[in-house]
Structure 1
């Protein structure tokens, strides 16, 4: 009997491990509240909201963020929009990684990037925070720089001393015309990240 229970326990643990490998935490960075909704800094929220609208998903407010789940071809996506405000994003990321038992390699952070031309998308598996306070807090809470981040270019088209106003400013009329196509590409990247893996996704999407 003991040997049977031991085998059963081992099998269950192995199954749970396999289930964890098929679960992904997709985090869009941003700030909660209507005044931030259409700002460049909130592109992480905007991408997840666009994805949710396409798939008729509904976010629910839970601990440390708004959350919804999406299933595709045996994978489970947990979408998270932290409600901690940008500078404390790491607290929400760490909580949901732990709660959902998602391995670090299945984490994807979506963030704005001043160093990329508008609309450019780039996936990286590690790197510095680049002066981004959200990434800085995530790095601090996870105690590593080795986590996947999906960087969406917002360009650096601002005058001296105007960076904060630019980042927290609304998209321009010209940018709003291009955003739908870019958001569609972002959705494709997120799906590919889980279905095709990070290396194949980088090859297929980076710089496009």
Structure 2
């Protein structure tokens, strides 16, 4: 296997049990699902990583050990260490501009105010990585968006969360196996 055939799939979130159920940790939840019980190992790039195969495709799953706003350094470090080009990096992250349970997949674009994406784009030298955007919905009323994403999913949302996380994991598998366009046709939720 040529090194350039390997993919890097990164879930964004905040480390530690305090944040585990937060909306901001949707990316961690999806890569945990993809790891399917495999043991996460500390990587020198300040991340937890699992080297595995998904549907026959070589992949490194990763969760930065920094806080969300500093995710770029670990992701850039992993990409350099594993020699993964930007077009083979998939980032799974929470997205407030999408309804809870909806998915949007795309290549590149702006940060939409998401500080994790701002950090990634700066560290990777551009925005052209693939994204699986996990809808968490807008905050109610005048709630500060920063407060909203650091809250746990509601009890009603938790009832559907496992299904939504599994669907996002399936979308990632489809991107790796069949490409972005095919995955968009299957998983991209119309709003």
Fold match (TM-score > 0.5): yes
Describe the superposition over 1:142-194 as per-residue Cα deviations: whole angstroms up to 9, x where unpaired.
Answer: 12121111100000032214322211001100000001111111121111111
3-state SS, counterpart of residue 207 of structure 1:
coil
Are 1:112 and 2:101 counterparts?
no
TM-score by length of 1: 0.87
Are 1:56 and 2:37 counterparts?
yes
Are 1:71 and 2:53 counterparts?
yes
3-state SS, counterpart of residue 127 of structure 2:
coil
Q: Any stretches of 5+ residues in structure 1 without a counterpart?
A: 1-17
Deviation of the 1:29 alpha carbon: 0.3
Are 1:174 and 2:163 counterparts?
no
C-alpha contact 2:55 2:173 (8 A) present in aligned 1: no
Q: Any stretches of 5+ residues in structure 2 without a counterpart?
A: none
CA RMSD across the alignment: 1.4
Structure 1 or 2, whichever has the larger Rg, is 1
Deviation of the 1:81 alpha carbon: 0.2
C-alpha contact 1:22 1:74 (8 A) present in aligned 2: no
Whole-Å separation in 2 of the counterparts to 1:73 and 1:152 = 22
Moved over 2 A (4+): none
Q: Which has the higher contact order (CA 8 A, sep 6+)?
A: 2
Whole-Å separation in 2 of the counterparts to 1:69 and 1:161 = 39
Are 1:35 and 2:21 counterparts?
no
TM-score by length of 2: 0.94
